Structure 1
Amino acid sequence: MKTKNEPSGPPMEEYEGSTMKILLISPLPPPPGGITTWTEKYVEWAKDHSICAEVVNNAVIGGRATHLGSKREISSEIQRTRRILTELKRKISMCRPDAVHLNSPCGRFGIMRDYLCALAVKKKGIPVIVHFRCNIEDQINNSRLSLYFFKKLAASANSILVLNSPSKEFVLKHARRDSRQVANFIDDDYVIEQPKPISPEIRKVLFVGNVLESKGAKEIVSAASDFPGTEFILAGPVEDKVSSLNAPGNVRLLRKQIPHEEIRDLLDEADVFLFPSYTEGFSNAMLEAMARGVPIIATGVGANADMIEDSGGMLVRAGSVPDIVHSLRSISPASVRERMSRWNVNKVRDAYLINRVMECLIGIYDEVINDERKYGKVHMDLVSNSL
């Protein structure tokens, strides 16, 4: 019989029967979002493939968990850090993982907390894979303190993963470490089976996600004025600053968290997916649009250029309404959008299906775990000297 203070969780024999035990430091809902969905899908896939994946939930708490655009509260961040470190130590003791996968968003406070987590893992002699889930340079944002802890965190990692090419270059330049680019994934059944019907003209332009200034919402509203016959739909919770904009009549704000099934329907009705975000790691919303065969117009930030290359859409400069207007006119011919649609679906099938991405991750885990068993003490000495 369990005592009151005994850790809860799966029975130990469940861990022992797994082919691999991974402890994932990553957020779970609430609040909902791309990375929380990724975490849930990761755990589900792992279970189906005889891999034990335990999660230390590092999701935001306080006002940031309930209200879009809320500012960070120091007291909440301290409480959050204590909770994460306590849970991390408990889970390490409980499931004795082969490796820890740490998802780091590289925020100013988060990068320090992630470094503390990595240290706690390394002290137990467990290899840690650090996955920078952002466009690193944008998050570091010329902060000397953030850069300092970024270097420390990178030095502690047995393996470094990034989401996009700019982040890979940043790691090489500032941490002097090589890294591997591991993208987000998507379920096979989300990919459109038949070619997307292409309308003769652009009737609906869609944005999906939190409707924020930093996501380019103001630019979408401004660009809509040049296309009065086209409906511009912004699907997602709306920031107060965006709600107060004087939007033209052809702009529709859905103002809520959209269920996944409804997002698919919106994508299937859309002629163009418009994503003028100022910064991005790897956009799940854009990935879903590609999977449904929607041509893309996006800023050339984060993984956006990696995703559509020069074939799945057009890239625009962040903050540039003229670029958006020009791109919408450039892809107005149905033949252009048809080529982009087919290319996007093929790219998703080739690069982003969940089995392909997860098998890549498992290969990295195997390599790191085997190296730790062979050279663990040597690596620990190198890490200790660099910290």
Structure 2
Amino acid sequence: MARILHVTECHDGGVSSAIRKLVDLTPEHEHYILLDGGDLDVSRATREVRMFRAKGMLKRTLEVRRAVADINPDYVHLHSSWAGAYGRITPLKAKTIYQPHCYKFDDSSLSPAKRWIYRAAEKVLSFRSDKTVVLSEHEARLTFELNATAACFYVPNVPSCEQVDEEMTSGAPEDGARRVLMVGRICEQKDPLFFGQVAKLAASSPVLSGFIFRWVGDGEHDLREALQDDGVEVAGWKQGNELLAELDAGDYYVHSASYEGFPISILDAAARGLPIIGRSIDALIGSGAYLAESPEDVVDALERAEVQPEFQEALLDRSKLLLAARTDADQERAWLNLYSSSVEVTS
């Protein structure tokens, strides 16, 4: 049995779902969480939840050190880049596991100078990671580019909800409207402007003009307003049965993010039997999902799915393949290997 302290500054959306699933699948270990964020829904198997009290790099680094001194964990599992900084700037009296949940320097919208700064910081800090958890082959390649000797462990993301056959879903809304969904934080990484452009183009399509485009999540005020200006409904954060109700009321799932680790929301949509159109980004290439390059390509795919039942069926088949390659059993084995193995390089 290991004692594990999870640290995150981004505890909502996919990160919170990932941590809950991790704890649920490994109840034989003792799990503690130090977090900042809006989603306080944690696994019932969690031993203790602590909140960051202060702001700023130095103060939060000291908070992590105090938590390590109090809890005396075997591992400090750092989720996402800011937590990765707090837990690796100075040595800790525990082994450190870093899980970026996507590297910030992978954001092509950043200036070359900013990307260089983020990459340089990750490169320096990589030598303080005892183990690094990646969600895709792309993320593994980036990890080894930073540090050729990194102890890199692939752990597949899995759905956070129960899987059902598409014929079994019964969440059709009373208004009968067709719905296109996106789930995630409203932030630049998830590229709500891409999704908004899809909604604007669909409004002038003879096939899609009556469709409702709905973003399940919340985040940056200006980007939320931009979504709404483009005719997108913003549902806010939903968890548990409310999230299932949103997915079950949907007809398609479109993932608009410009870069990712590997999104749990796509797997949740697949688990609820939705046809999926993903954006052609490195993390999704080779995943089995149907991918589109541009908002125009997404609209073309939605129109085609509406008028060609065989194409819609092909999208559903791809959803099933996504799930078949990422099961709870696969993830449980990976976590057990991570927390019990000696530090060694795996690919």
Q: What is the TM-score of this pair, normalised by structure 1?
A: 0.69
- Residue 344 and residue 28 in structure 1: after superposition, are their counterparts in 2 closer, same or farther (change >3 A)? same
Choose from 219, 230, 236 the match for 1:256.
236
- Residue 209, structure 1, aligned to residue 189, structure 2: no
Secondary structure at 2:88's aligned position in 1? helix
Choose from 211, 215, 228 the match for 1:230.
211
Q: Specify the alignment match of 1:138 in structure 2.
A: 106
Q: Specify the alignment match of 2:280 in structure 1.
A: 300
How many residues of Structure 1 are paired with residues of Structure 2 in the alignment?
315
Deviation at 1:328, TM superposition (A): 1.6
Deviation at 1:28, TM superposition (A): 7.0
- Residue 321 and residue 93 in structure 1: after superposition, are their counterparts in 2 closer, same or farther (change >3 A)? closer
Q: Specify the alignment match of 2:76 in structure 1.
A: 100
Q: Specify the alignment match of 2:29 in structure 1.
A: 51
Q: Specify the alignment match of 2:19 in structure 1.
A: 39
Q: Specify the alignment match of 2:316 in structure 1.
A: 341
Q: Specify the alignment match of 2:341 in structure 1.
A: 367
Identity %: 19
Output aligned runs, 1:322-337, within 5 Å.
322-332=296-306, 333-337=308-312
Q: Which has the higher helix share?
A: 1
Secondary structure at 1:305's aligned position in 2? coil
Q: Specify the alignment match of 2:137 in structure 1.
A: 165
Unaligned ranges ≥5, structure 1: 1-18, 62-75, 372-387
- Structure 2: distance between partners of 1:44 and 1:91: 22
Deviation at 1:44, TM superposition (A): 4.2
- Structure 1: distance between partners of 2:187 and 2:33: 29
- Residue 275, structure 1, aligned to residue 247, structure 2: no
- Residue 135 and residue 77 in structure 1: after superposition, are their counterparts in 2 closer, same or farther (change >3 A)? farther
Deviation at 1:362, TM superposition (A): 1.8
Choose from 128, 143, 155 the match for 1:156.
128
Unaligned ranges ≥5, structure 2: 39-51
Greater relative contact order (CA < 8 Å, ≥ 6 in sequence): 2
Output one character per residue of 1:214-245: Cα deviation in whole Å (capped at 9) or x when no partner: 23232222222222133322333374345256
Deviation at 1:181, TM superposition (A): 2.6
From the CA coordinates, give the structure whose radius of gyration is larger. Answer: 1
Q: Specify the alignment match of 2:148 in structure 1.
A: 176
- Residue 56 and residue 149 in structure 1: after superposition, are their counterparts in 2 closer, same or farther (change >3 A)? same
- Residue 89, structure 1, aligned to residue 65, structure 2: yes
Deviation at 1:197, TM superposition (A): 6.7
Q: Specify the alignment match of 1:219 in structure 2.
A: 197
Deviation at 1:192, TM superposition (A): 1.0
Checking the alignment, whether the CA contact within 8 Å between 1:22 and 1:51 is kept in structure 2 is: yes
- Structure 1: distance between partners of 2:185 and 2:134: 23
- Structure 2: distance between partners of 1:246 and 1:86: 40
- Structure 2: distance between partners of 1:330 and 1:193: 22
Checking the alignment, whether the CA contact within 8 Å between 2:136 and 2:261 is kept in structure 1 is: yes
What's the Cα RMSD here?
Answer: 3.5
